[in-house]
């Protein structure tokens, strides 16, 4: 019985380590999706001069979950003309992203700040705002990619060794 309990502790700690590593992969995947989404938005603005709501609806069909809901909510709120500026609507939509999307608090803050630069002046201004954001965003992605393998290994080791240490203490 005792042995079974110890085995369960070891398994749990290992899974925790794996999960911590996996959350990094999920964050990277989400950041990549945001980057793709904004590149599509740039395309919509550059090629067809679509309004934000039209562009968001067009992009929604091409994005995996949870982004279609985010984009459709944005389009709906913009079209409803119910008040508030673009920044407020954008910030509200970013805050409504589910926890499971993998973005950290810092990522969400960056994404929220993007809203204050959009909807202002001409198409060139929108393109520059998006390009600047994407440049910064991709740097963060690159940093994460470089750290990811190393950190995942550390998390796995910490999980297993933490479990073993606990086992030894409890023996």
Is 31 or 45 the residue whose CB approaches other proteins more closely? 45
Task: Tell me the closest approach of the beta carbon of residue 12 to other proteins, in angstroms.
Answer: 49
Least CB distance from residue 65 to other proteins, whole Å?
25
Task: Please identify which residue in the block is written with the tokens 């079974």.
Answer: 4
What are the CA-CA distances from residue 71 to residues 89, 148, 164, 166 (Å)?
11, 29, 46, 46
Q: What is the smallest separation between the CB atom of 137 and other proteins, expressed in angstroms?
A: 21
Closest to other proteins by CB, 31 or 55 = 55
Nearer to other proteins, 15 or 121 (CB): 121
Strands in the chain per DSSP E: none
Taking the complex as a whole, how short is the minimal distance between the CB of residue 97 and other proteins, in angstroms? 20
- The distance of closest approach from Cβ of residue 121 to other proteins in the complex, given in angstroms and rounded to an integer, is 7
Question: Of 28 and 86, which CB lies nearer to other proteins in the complex structure?
Answer: 86
Name the site residues for other proteins (rule: CB under 8 A): 45, 49-54, 78-79, 81, 83, 85-86, 89, 119, 121-123, 125-126
Q: Which is nearer to other proteins, 87 or 156 (CB)?
A: 87
Q: Could you tell me if 53 and 78 are in contact, meaning their C-beta atoms sit under 8 angstroms apart?
A: yes
How far is residue 29's CA from residue 76's CA, in Å, rounded to a whole number?
26
Mention every residue, 6+ apart, whose C-beta is less than 8 A from residue 147: 24
Encode burial over 95-108: b for 16+ CB neighbours within 10 A, e otherwise: eebeeebbbeeebe
């Amino acid at each position: 019985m005792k042995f079974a309990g110890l085995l369960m502790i070891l398994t749990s700690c290992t899974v925790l380590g794996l999960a911590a590593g996996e959350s990094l992969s999920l964050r990277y995947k989400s950041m990549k999706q945001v980057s793709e989404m904004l590149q599509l938005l740039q395309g919509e603005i550059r090629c067809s001069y679509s309004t934000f709501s039209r562009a968001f609806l067009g992009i929604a069909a091409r994005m995996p979950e949870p982004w279609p809901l985010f984009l459709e909510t944005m389009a709906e709120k913009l079209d409803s003309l119910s008040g508030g500026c673009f920044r407020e609507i954008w910030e509200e939509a970013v805050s409504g992203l589910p926890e499971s999307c993998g973005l950290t608090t810092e990522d969400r803050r960056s994404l929220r700040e993007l809203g204050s630069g959009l909807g202002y002046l001409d198409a060139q201004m929108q393109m520059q705002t998006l390009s600047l954001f994407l440049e910064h965003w991709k740097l963060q992605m690159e940093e994460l990619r470089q750290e990811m393998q190393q950190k995942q290994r550390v998390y796995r080791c910490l999980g297993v060794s933490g479990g073993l240490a606990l086992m030894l203490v409890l023996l």
